[in-house]
Amino acid sequence: MNKKRPVNLDISTISMPVTAIVSILHRITGIILFVGLAFLFYAFDKSLSSQAGFDQVVDTLQNNFLAKFIIWGVVSALMYHFVAGVKHLFMDLGHFEELESGRMAAKANIVIAVVLILLVGVWVW
């Protein structure tokens, strides 16, 4: 192994390309969706247990800020993950594989996801 190779241990000086950011966010939103399913399954189970449970879930989702924030976070993660997944499907078909078209697709991914996340925020609140 070459001992004279440069070593950069300062992470703040490393600039990530937009394609890497989109890829990392796609993985993070997948984790958020997995964890968020626990909250959604709990609310679903509670709402199906009885009429009182359903009313309690509806009241919580309408009046509790934390519940709205969790729902917004999970649905926002779903929107981003969906957009990035569609981009990956196009890449599987042979599109956006070159460097410049991949960058443009990554930027479009972010823009479309931000618009959808804002729309979800308006819908939740």
How does pLDDT run along the chain (125 residues), one tens digit per residue?
A: 567 777 777 777 778 899 999 999 999 999 999 999 999 999 999 999 999 999 999 999 999 999 999 999 999 999 999 999 999 999 999 999 899 999 999 999 999 999 999 999 999 98
For residue 45, being part of any structural domain is answered with yes
CATH number of the domain that 28 lies in? 1.20.1300.10
Residue 10 belongs to some domain of the structure: no
Q: What are 6-26's pLDDT values in tens digits?
A: 777 777 777 889 999 999 999
- Is 88 known to sit in a ligand binding site? no
* Structural domain count, the chain: 1
Burial class for 23, CB neighbours closer than 10 Å (0-12, 13-18, 19+): middle
H/E element holding 46? helix 18-49
- Angle of CA points 77, 35, 88, to nearest 5°: 40
pTM, 2 dp: 0.84
Residue 6 lies in a domain: no
29 within 8 A of 88, measured Cβ to Cβ: no
66 lies in some domain: yes
What domain range is 98 assigned to? Answer: 18-124
Nearest CA to 71 out of 50, 45, 42 is that of 42
> Kindly report the CA angle at 106 between 105 and 110, in degrees rounded to 5?
115
